[in-house]
Amino acid sequence: MTNHVNLTFHGAAKTVTGSCLEIESDGTRILVDCGLFQGSRSLETLNHGAFAFAPEGIDAVVLTHAHIDHCGLLPKLVARGFEGPIFCTDETSELLQYMLADAGRIQEFEAQRRNQRRDRAGEGTFEPLYTEQDGLTAWRQTRPVPLEEWFQPTPGFRARLWNAGHILGATSAEVDAGGVSLLCSGDLGPQYKAFHADPEGPSGLDYVICEATYGSRSRAKLTISERRDLLEGEINRASSRGGNLVIPAFALERTQELLLDIAYLADENRIPNVPVFVDSPLANRATSVFARHAAELEDLEGKDIFHHPAIHYVDDAAVSMRINTMSGVIIIAASGMCEAGRVRHHLAHNLHRRDSTILFVGFQAQGSLGRIILEGAKQVRISGSDVNVRAHIRRIDSYSAHADQAELLDWIKARNPISGSLFLTHGEPGAIAALTELVSDDDPSLSIVTPKIGECYQLQSGTPAKLAGTARTDAAQLIGRDWQNDYADFAVSLKRQLARISETGNRQKAITEMRRVLERYSDVHDSQTEPVRD
């Protein structure tokens, strides 16, 4: 007889980031992933609140891969009392040494930067989410395990990892908890993914938790050769304009894929002989892990692409700043969604230039600076300053490390029969709804659940999941664009709007009226939140 198992979604439900699943069986608890929320400032506040569970009560973590939205809260988890093992592949463990330490440095830097901003004068001190040392402490708790071999995360649980074809070391996590079988997809790679074989996994499960990042989108099935053709065109057009080509790229995997293609195009003399700066210390360290595992990677054709003469790895911050005095170079910098890191100062120096090009090659979450630029903003706010957008904004979809709609559907079909329920997570609401409809049309009898953050489900072998705990209302309100996105849009256009008022007196009246509106709402808020007195 199987036990009842509880499955709780602490992130990546109706949103793309913050992946964290809690599986409880007979009082024993494990997490699958513990990731950072990324996107709007409001959504990121979820990173700073208390965990919805006691960290010291978690017995183990099974980690699917090293992207920060899946691992980025591990340092906080450890700092708050988690002392158990973190199981993952050897490649993921190697990457975490750099990923988590870098995440801690970014947290410390961002806290310092915010505290020094003039527009925050008089506000309370902003504390970092965790430190570089916290990141290294979490990394030391990793326990590498091989693919497709059962291991015991903690008594009462069995697990094994399957290649997910997403990034170096990425897996899907199969878990057996008290006789109930689950498969957590992690992030799934697409067909024609560079470096890695196609995703694999078992079939005949009770429950499957599948990502839906591109659940509403179908991409052209481009081979690596066809993708290189697209990149060649973008580089040559950018070069002909005379300005810089800035490519915001995730430090892990996306940067290395770009290096693969740029090195190939340079060797074939298909692009100009210009310097390529990889301006990300984290990307440089991640690239060293790829180089160590080069013998295991596909598509290298025997070439040492990571030491190509056209490619220059930048670690020193002063050198990074000097790049902004140049023209006609290629700059690959993190972060991929432009929310932190060195790419922000490259954007600040290039967005206003009509001869520069910004090329997006990855997913941009709602509320992120990258998404706002892609959606056509004429001005954006970067580190407290307004920046006009005059550069050419371009996009290549074929570098995605995620399966698209058809590939997700194929992966789900390959897991059949699913005797309990299919959970669709790690996607924005529209993507989840579209994939739900597609899967339902294909198999009308299948139980499909689209959970919200905070919801808990009771699982029993061969039975559809039953809702056992309700969602967090605070989390639902923070997903998508927030008031700070709207404020940034309003702030950057305010001066122009006031300038359109011809009479000085009317401008002053408009300002006075706006102040009154703000004061009126502030008064309502104050009266609602004032404590009740006897």
Q: Residue 140: which CATH number? A: 3.60.15.10
Position 187 scores a pLDDT of 98
Domain match, 273 and 377 both: yes
**Boundary of a domain, candidates 377, 399, 421:** 399
Domain match, 207 and 260 both: no
Domain membership flag for residue 513: no
Domain match, 394 and 407 both: no
Percentage with pLDDT > 90 across the chain? 75
Phi, psi (degrees; rounded to nearest 5) at 414: -70, -15
Full-model pTM: 0.83
pLDDT tens digit sequence for 468-501: 998 887 766 666 555 655 665 666 667 777 878 8
Domain membership flag for residue 98: yes
Confidence of residue 260 (pLDDT cuts 50, 70, 90): very high
**Boundary of a domain, candidates 369, 399, 429:** 399
Domain match, 14 and 77 both: yes
* Measured distance CA(236)–CA(226) in Å, rounded: 16
Instruction: Classify residue 193 as exposed, middle or buried by CB count within 10 Å of its CB (0-12, 13-18, 19+).
Output: buried
Domain match, 134 and 170 both: yes
Domain match, 459 and 383 both: no
Instruction: Look at residue 220 and tell me whether its pLDDT is greater than 90.
Output: no
Query: In the predicted model, what is the mean pLDDT of residues 1-11?
Result: 84
**Boundary of a domain, candidates 427, 453, 478:** 478
Domain match, 165 and 278 both: no
| Average model confidence (pLDDT) across the chain | 91
Q: What DSSP assignment string belongs to 463-511?
A: EEEEEEE---HHHHHHSSS-HHHHHHHHHHHHHHHHHT--SHHHHHHHH
Position 526 scores a pLDDT of 45
Instruction: Look at residue 383 and tell me whether its pLDDT is greater than 90.
Output: no
Domain membership flag for residue 338: yes
Domain match, 189 and 229 both: no
* Measured distance CA(274)–CA(269) in Å, rounded: 11
Domain match, 213 and 168 both: yes
Residue type, position 135, single letter: G
Which is higher by pLDDT, 472 or 166? 166
Domain match, 34 and 172 both: yes
- Can you say how many angstroms the Cα of residue 473 is from the centroid of all Cα atoms in its chain? 22
Query: In the predicted model, what is the mean pLDDT of residues 208-218?
Result: 96
Question: How many distinct structural domains can be found in the chain?
Answer: 2
Confidence of residue 3 (pLDDT cuts 50, 70, 90): low
Domain membership flag for residue 72: yes
Domain match, 162 and 277 both: no
Domain match, 206 and 284 both: no
Position 529 scores a pLDDT of 38
Q: Residue 228: which CATH number? A: 3.40.50.10890
Instruction: Look at residue 40 and tell me whether its pLDDT is greater than 80.
Output: no
Instruction: Look at residue 534 and tell me whether its pLDDT is greater than 60.
Output: no
Confidence of residue 43 (pLDDT cuts 50, 70, 90): confident
Q: Domain range for residue 338?
A: 224-399
